[in-house]
Amino acid sequence: MAHVLTTEPTMLTTGASQTKAKRIGDREKTAARLLRAAVERSYDAEVDIDWDDPFSDDKQFAPEHRLSLYGTRIWDKLSPEQRYEMSRHEMVSIFSFGIFAEAVLSTFLFRHVISNGLANDSTRYALTEIGDEARHSTMFSRAINKLGVEPYELPKGVNWFINLFTGILPACTTTWGGTLLIEEILDRLQREAMLDEQIQPHLRQLFKIHVLEEARHITFAREELVRTYQKANRFTKAFHRFMIALVCALVLPVVFHPEVYRRVLGMSPLRGALAAQLNPNYRGNAQFMCEPMIRYFHEVGLVSGRVTLKLWKSTRAVPDDLYGELFGAPRKQKAPTLLGRGVRRLVGA
């Protein structure tokens, strides 16, 4: 029998973590508090989600306005059945990405265990979080099977690069920043969807589990981000600022796997990806997903430097008010060039 998770009103209206860069506490005290929270608030998707219950015919798999092609001319031409399939496949794409990302995050948490001492609350919490991530990945895997879609795997070349990257990079500001990038993007998307009564009940329950448990993960990563950054020297800080901005610029465009467009619409993945990038809604969705994370990075001091700022600008995810502060002028709405209009028409954006 699945249990119905309740959500406190305060959690619905706030972000995953209220941690502020200027109020970072003692590491062991934070870890002890998070360990208590893990005992009080941990869930098992094998029990708390009824996987045998059929999907509802009148419910969606994701909020339409967050789908990659929503707002394009391609979307306008899709039938209700095709839109339904798009939401199903893009949700599987996110779950596939989540499994891969949480495996990478767990690798860095094991590094934290190795370098931080073997018998203290911080290490015990890191091990607890690894267990959480394993359960979350199992839950995502179950959801993929339930959705009846083959998972979307990354290309072998990308896998090779990520394996190399995770193999040589120790637990540091860059890894904690990358952790927040993944966790906070998923948190924003799922926090919105779990409140949407038009979404399938199975998925709303999954989102609640993930949001409730990820809140403590984000708190831990935010504090470790500040601690490691404050200890770094000037040149190392510049490296971390650049790397975090670069990872964000690379990850955001591939949250939805381009192969979705081939499987659902018989369309070239390149054409679909270009249409998604040229979508008038892309900037708004990027800002929505990244706003809490970017504001925190700015508070920490990670959003500065000429090259770093150019990378952040390229993401189109910087909130409008922060954009004016960082770049000295409000964001201008540029009229599309003749070439830009031609590309939009060509790809159907």
**109 found inside a domain:** yes
Residue 36 located in a structural domain = no
pLDDT, residue 166, reads 78
Helix/strand/coil for 35: helix
Going by pLDDT thresholds of 50, 70 and 90, the confidence category of residue 14 is very low
User: In CATH, what number is assigned to the domain containing residue 77?
Assistant: 1.10.620
Task: Report CA-CA distances (Å) from 333 to 276, 280, 283, 328.
Answer: 19, 11, 12, 15
DSSP labels, 190-216: HHHHTT-TTB-HHHHHHHHHHHHHHHH
Percent over 90 (pLDDT), the chain: 72
Give the model's confidence band at 57: pLDDT under 50 very low, under 70 low, under 90 confident, else very high.
Answer: confident
Q: What's the domain range around 188?
A: 58-331+339-347
In a domain, 51, yes or no: no
Report pLDDT for 338: 57
Residue 31 falls inside a structural domain = no
C-alpha–C-alpha distance, residues 271 and 274, integer Å: 5
Looking from the CA of 15 toward its CB, the CA atoms found within 13 Å total 22
Q: What does the pLDDT read at residue 301?
A: 95
Q: Cα separation of 108 and 196, whole Å?
A: 33
User: Per-residue confidence at 11, pLDDT binned at 50, 70, 90?
Assistant: very low
Enumerate residues 6+ apart whose C-beta is below 8 A from 333.
Answer: none
Q: Determine, yes or no, domain membership for 227.
A: yes
Give the mean model confidence (pLDDT) for residues 86-91: 96
d(CA 245, CA 247): 6
Using the predicted structure, report yes or no on whether residue 26 has a pLDDT greater than 90: no
What SS3 class is residue 60? Answer: strand
Q: What is the DSSP letter of 66?
A: G
> Would 44 be classed as within a structural domain?
no
- Measured N-to-C along each axis, helices 27-40 and 201-231 cross at an angle, to the nearest 10 degrees, of 170
Does the model's pTM come out above 0.85?
Answer: yes
Summarised one tens digit per residue, pLDDT across range 126-160 is 999 999 999 999 999 999 999 999 999 988 888 88
- Over range 209-231, report the average pLDDT: 94
Interval 254-268: pLDDT, tens: 889 999 999 999 999
- With cut-offs at 50, 70 and 90, classify the pLDDT of residue 16: low
Q: Residue 233: how many CA atoms within 13 Å on its side-chain side? A: 1
Q: In the chain, how many domains are there?
A: 1
**In this predicted model, what pLDDT tens digit does every residue of 162-212 receive, in sequence order?**
888 777 778 899 999 999 999 999 999 999 999 999 999 999 999 999 999
- Domain membership of residue 8 (yes or no) is no
Domain annotation covers residue 322: yes
Task: Tell me how far apart the alpha carbons of residues 227 and 19 are, in angstroms, rounded to a whole number.
Answer: 13
Give 296-338 pLDDT, tens digit per residue: 999 999 999 999 999 999 999 999 999 989 988 777 766 566 5
